[in-house]
Structure 1
């Protein structure tokens, strides 16, 4: 089933060229089946790239998806035009009285800062608190996962000596419905300067779904299945790490060549070995949300209260 997008949304034409169908608003309103409503809190600098990456993944569901985009007004967005933000993004004040089937909180390039020193931290805390009552499920990505683990579970960041950067194997620790169809060992992109203090994980609150002996836990899920914490970047394009590496080189950073990524000395050939798992994860998530969420969105707070 298609995603409903405004007719002039920039990502729409790109997705249509990839045979990802985005339905027009007028036609969508004539359908009787209730679409899933998702909210995307996009903290990445290049918001359009991230929009395309995530819309590409959620488009594979047979369900119609309505997506709202959320901005934090306490932060000045320097890499996205104000016109794009004002036209397509909502503030928290505009959505705080609404409910959503799912929320995605992206990463952000602020890992080296203490959480409380991030200029939009208090506003993000408001959103994360609101998400516990007004959404059926939340996916947190990279720094967004670290922020969620810190705020909800008191798990601190651990600073690395060098950027964790490349494609890493991860092994499933437990069987979980969101990872149906996954291989026991699967690959996925990592790009971060920090990890988490695993000694602070309380088993009654969190489960480590996937981990690697070298880099530690990579995927965690709350005991009530409401919050999914992805420390990596399943949404990355084939060339995302390459572009990031070249950008770091231009900035004079000492970022090493991403591990398990380039297949040639010229740094030109890359084989995507995570795309299938990325689509499978988001497909499983949307299917799971569809089965758990109430038909009437206003009933989500009551459902969450019963789960507490």
Structure 2
């Protein structure tokens, strides 16, 4: 029997799971919080609720609904995705394999507010180590971040580049930093460039010169995960066809990560599309 992993426990992910699990597919939901929905104090523009409901309450109800129907629910932070006969997911707690994967982890609402960062995107600043490590082989690079996602990018870069510095921008890292990685906890003032490459200027006045900077704050969103396996994206939006399928066989996306209206109703609709499309694809195998 084909199996499906849904990354994300919000409206899009749960909606997809309701269709796949009821169709008899082995369905696993992997989530690490419910994202922006948890911050919604009251939702009153969604069908079926006579009184406002908090985003957190709606999210927890959805997870319980999926669990009751038979979906397996795992709390883990997915940091990478690849392909080896099946789609493979790397999490903080282990690895997972599936015939079909639906990305539904939402879309980041904010970017790091570091002067010069956006100006150097595509010019040495990258959001995907798997995609761009090759361009910095044998050279020093920096990873911006302090959690599991940053550690994943560090480990991806280490075999390729000359050295990696983990820059936490004044924060204490929540992970065990490998001995081969330099840790720099100074606050960042700006990202700059000169003829030799990029420079991170710190508020203390010091400078770190590198060939490339890899941004890995927080957790990996759907678009970051999609890029790691070669799926087409446009900014933070994953490009999908009318069935929510990406250009990678077996990989689908739904919800905020596909762009458009960032609303629960739209996420539920796209989750239903993705779920039914996976069911059809699985039955056609």
Structure-1-length-normalised TM-score = 0.27
Structure whose alpha-carbon radius of gyration is higher: 2
Please state which structure has a larger fraction of its residues in helix: 1
Structure-2-length-normalised TM-score = 0.28
Higher RCO (CA-CA < 8 Å; seq separation 6+): 2
